[in-house]
Amino acid sequence: MSILLGCIADDFTGATDLASMLVHAGMRTVQTIGILKEPVPPGTDAVVIALKSRTIPADQAVAESLAALQWLRAAGCRQTYFKYCSTFDSTDKGNIGPVAEALMAALDTPFTIACPAFPENKRTIFKGHLFVGDTLLAESSMRNHPLTPMHDSNLQRVLQRQTAKTVGLIEHSTVAAGTQAIQERIESLKAEGVGMAIVDAISNDDLLQIGAACADLPLITAGSGIALGLPQNFRAQGLLDVQDAARDLPQTQGLQAIVCGSCSQATQAQLADAVARGTPAYAIDPMRLAANEDLVSQAMAWATPLLNQGPVIVYATASPDRVKAAQEKLGVERAGALVEEALAEIARRLVQAGVRQLIVAGGETSGAVVTALDVRSLRIGPTIDPGVPWTVSLGATPIALALKSGNFGATDFFTKAWSLLP
């Protein structure tokens, strides 16, 4: 059976967020890092292509998104989903409007919705205005975002500045009236020549109704919330019969390790907790790396005899004072790069030594490790803590990877995670 849902996400963590949502709703989902050359394995219901297109020039974002669409269409996808941030991160130049418009043209469809709402994460839309918690978007911390400052909470206006299409609104009174009312409103907007419509949503039930109403739209543009309501459409058509997409992961057998490059408060607490429970841990000091000490070999010599007894941790995690001291001596970028390079090489050698279950803490650190391991695609599995699923890399040597960005995860993350592997 071909892939049902093809998704194009404008950044990596957003892609994981969407993929987790789809898995939760019952679709076997693969996340790819950029556009693959090869097809994904049979038995994949949804593919999420992670691009880095949120803040690049609009013409580049359009070109990359169209290339992703081409791959998804070749894979036989029935519906396309353009995923952006739930705070609608974009500038007046794009990239949401230009990418949505280009995808509409390529799919030859006159209409799509735009709905970043994710009520569970406190992103709601009412009368076209986006709220972050109790605060309007333009009054939230997003107004100071370094790359995509959001100064207007009215998404109809925000999107209208980014596209030549007419942008309309599907108000909450319509959404609350249910699937059929939403579909009728879509038809009347189309008849008026409206090309895109912001859709109000303030609850999970709203998302489910909107999802059902979008069953026949070739293109959906949204945050990850709308994904809640899409698998039901495929199930209703008899195209999806998986019971537990999260646990239906390729098995990995092997040694366990944790590589920790995040210095966030959450990671510091998680590291301290794991050490207190007896997990052996080895520290990497950027000052010693800068002095050309071969800490990679030293860490491996330390880890190798311990690996058979259980998970080990290699970490660069340090207190803010120590990080600051290293940064003052080496420069912020050099300190970061030295640590990332060392941890990525350690991860590669740990895998060579037989590690097949690996937790990585830190967003940038995860990027460096995934590159060093030459991981191009991931099957998404069960959620460990919100925003962090277990994944299994696809390829010659499947490795279970939990890629945790800094502040995510409960204090017992480094011990709890192992028990959640299928």
Interface residue with ligand ADP, options 120, 205, 273, 364 (CB under 6 A): 364
Q: How far is CA 55 from CA 8, 198, 387, in A?
A: 15, 21, 22
Least distance CB 123 / ligand ADP (angstroms): 21
Which residue carries 């007894």 as its tokens? 309
Cβ closer to ligand ADP: 40 or 361? 361
Interface residue with ligand ADP, options 150, 318, 370, 372 (CB under 6 A): 318
Q: From residue 214 to residue 253, what is the string marking binding to ligand ADP with x (rule CB under 6 A)?
A: ----------------------------------------
What is the residue-wise DSSP string for 23-83?
Answer: HHTT--EEEEES--SSPPPTT--EEEEE---SSS-HHHHHHHHHHHHHHHHHTT-SEEEEE
Sign of torsion over alpha carbons 135, 141, 145, 151: positive
29 touches ligand ADP (CB under 6 A): no
What is the residue-wise DSSP string for 233-282?
Answer: HHHHTT----S-TTT------SEEEEEE---SHHHHHHHHHHHHTT--EE
Stretch that binds ligand ADP, among 61-69, 149-157, 162-170, 360-368 (CB under 6 A): 360-368
Give the closest residue to 342 by CA, choosing from 225, 260, 240, 222.
260
CB atoms within 10 A of CB 247: 13
Cβ closer to ligand ADP: 23 or 323? 323
Stretch that binds ligand ADP, among 138-146, 174-182, 291-299, 356-364 (CB under 6 A): 356-364
Least distance CB 330 / ligand ADP (angstroms): 8
377 touches ligand ADP (CB under 6 A): no
363 touches ligand ADP (CB under 6 A): yes
Sign of torsion over alpha carbons 90, 93, 94, 97: positive
Q: Are 68 and 49 within 8 A, CB to CB? A: yes
Q: Are 125 and 200 within 8 A, CB to CB? A: yes
Angstrom distance (rounded) from CA 330 to CA 91: 34
Angstrom distance (rounded) from CA 148 to CA 185: 31
Cβ closer to ligand ADP: 210 or 339? 339
Q: Are 67 and 37 within 8 A, CB to CB? A: no
Stretch that binds ligand ADP, among 6-14, 51-59, 319-327, 379-387 (CB under 6 A): 319-327
DSSP 370: H
Cβ closer to ligand ADP: 286 or 389? 286
64 touches ligand ADP (CB under 6 A): no
Backbone φ, ψ for residue 416 (5° rounding): -60, -40
Stretch that binds ligand ADP, among 102-110, 214-222, 225-233, 314-322 (CB under 6 A): 314-322
Site for ligand ADP in 321-340 (CB under 6 A): 322-323, 326-327, 335-336, 339-340
Cβ closer to ligand ADP: 63 or 337? 337
Q: Are 22 and 66 within 8 A, CB to CB? A: no
405 touches ligand ADP (CB under 6 A): yes
Stretch that binds ligand ADP, among 151-159, 207-215, 256-264, 300-308 (CB under 6 A): 256-264
Q: Is the peptide bond before 204 cis (omega within 30 degrees of 0)?
A: no
Give the closest residue to 176 by CA, choosing from 220, 125, 218, 249.
125
Least distance CB 346 / ligand ADP (angstroms): 12
Q: From residue 257 to residue 286, what is the string marking binding to ligand ADP with x (rule CB under 6 A)?
A: ----xxxx--x------------------x
316 touches ligand ADP (CB under 6 A): yes
Count of chain residues binding ligand ADP (CB under 6 A): 23
What b/e readout covers 258-285, taking b as 16+ CB neighbours within 10 angstroms?
Answer: bbbbbbbebbbebbebbeeeebbbbebb
Stretch that binds ligand ADP, among 7-15, 27-35, 318-326, 413-421 (CB under 6 A): 318-326
Cβ closer to ligand ADP: 112 or 264? 264
Query: Interface with ligand ADP by CB under 6 A: which residues?
Result: 261-264, 267, 286, 316-318, 322-323, 326-327, 335-336, 339-340, 362-365, 405-406
